[in-house]
Amino acid sequence: MQIIRDYENVPSEARDGVVVLGNFDGVHRGHQAVIGHGIELARDAKIPVVVVTFEPHPRTFFRPHDAPFRLTPFQNKAHHIEALGVDALIVLEFDKTLSHFEADEFIRRVLVEGMSAKQVVIGQDFRFGRKRGGDTALLEAHAEFGGYSVTTVAPVASADAEIYSSTHIRENVEAGKPGHAAAMLGRPFEIEGEVISGDQRGRTLGFPTANIVLGEYIRPARGVYAVRAGIETDSEIIWVDGVANFGNRPTIGGDSLLLEVHLLDFNGDLYGKNLRVALIEYLRPERKFDGLEALKAQIDEDSATARRILVVRAAGAS
């Protein structure tokens, strides 16, 4: 998948195609339906399919002091969009200039002049342009002039009629319900980041950890999780079972939130590597123990519990 960061210089292979427009934080089942519809249209017409999204997220631009809320910061979002089979991802920098584009100006400059869109696909509830003035009706009103057709995709719901939404997924992540979040995402919720050097405390306890700062990611419920960790190599991602703690490590007097991942049956060096940590199941809340020996015993128990859960999950998926 080609990543393009300028709508004014879109290469020819990404023009004259199907343009799918949205923020797509989470790339959840509802987003997948929108993008998937664009892919089907593009394949039928034998033209490229291009996803157009915004970074930073407009909410971050307008409300910079909000608590972190992202389900998929850019790198992780790009991974999941690429996996759907998109030809190109156009990332528009959401800054003061873009935020002042009237909706009809956005259509003309970005979709028509910038991309020569032949078809535009948009979720029914998505809004764009200054003060969220653009919607499906405005796209359709400009379609004849712009030389494109419009497809609107309605919200998608689960079997029990719950609409797939980023807001609902965030609520489940914060509540320590990764299984509920996964059902709406269509995959486990992931935290992706570079492994940083820690205080080596886990290694002295016999449980070395890969440490990740969450950055823009929404903060999941503090506590211990069964996880699967994807280690990026030059040619593939190797997935390894593990157990992780998210919190501030009260037993050792930690003063910052950190995701600490202990990989089961793995001895390699992960410092500086990119790690994708999928939260599979919430095991218990974070708590303070009466000394390191008690902490070590609990980590041993948590690791055994995580191993059992992950073996069962793997068997169920086969």
Active site residues: 260
Q: What are phi and psi of 207, to 5 degrees?
A: -135, 75
Cis ω for the linkage preceding 56 (within 30 of 0): yes
| C-alpha distances out from residue 228 to 76, 240, 260, Å | 15, 6, 13
Q: How far is 119 from 151, CA to CA, in rounded Å?
A: 7
| 208 and 242 Cβ atoms separated by less than 8 Å | no
Kindly provide the residue ranges of all beta strands, DSSP E only, lying in 63-111, ordered along the sequence. Answer: 88-93
Q: In what order do the strands lie in the sheet with 274-284?
A: 189-194, 274-284, 223-232, 237-247, 258-263, 210-212
136: DSSP letter: H
Cβ-in-10-Å burial (0-12, 13-18, 19+) of 80 comes to: buried
Q: How far is 94 from 122, CA to CA, in rounded Å?
A: 18
Among the listed residues 47, 54, 58, the one whose alpha carbon sits nearest the alpha carbon of residue 21: 54
110: DSSP letter: I
In a 3-state reduction of DSSP, which class is residue 268? coil
Tokens of 111: 């979709």
